Amino acid sequence: MAVATEDRIGEIVHSYDTTLHGSQKRKAAKEATEALIAHLMQRTQRPVDTVREQLCGVFANVAWSQYRSDFMQLLAPMVR
């Protein structure tokens, strides 16, 4: 069963078109994120807020080292 979940997550992630720009890119990212959240909600039977929070946590932990300067640039105005 875990393989099916990994396959579906891979499908969702790989369906995101990285060549898009502007509003089309934002729309595609939102659609991919919503599909991923819907899949995880169905598989885990957890509410949307829990799935979204955990997904953000996973992303932040994985991406922090690679995108730290981007995160800091994005978050700095909120702590000034």
pLDDT, tens digit (0-9, with 9 covering 90-100), for 18-75: 899 999 998 998 999 999 999 999 999 999 999 999 998 988 888 888 888 888 888 8
Q: What is the pLDDT of residue 80?
A: 66
Q: Quick count: other Cβ atoms within 10 Å of Cβ 12?
A: 19
Structure tokens at 10: 């891979």
Q: What is the pLDDT of residue 45?
A: 96
Q: What is the pLDDT of residue 3?
A: 60
Q: What is the pLDDT of residue 73?
A: 83
Q: Distance (Å, rounded) from C-alpha 42 to C-alpha 35?
A: 11
Q: Does the pTM of the predicted model rise above 0.85?
A: no
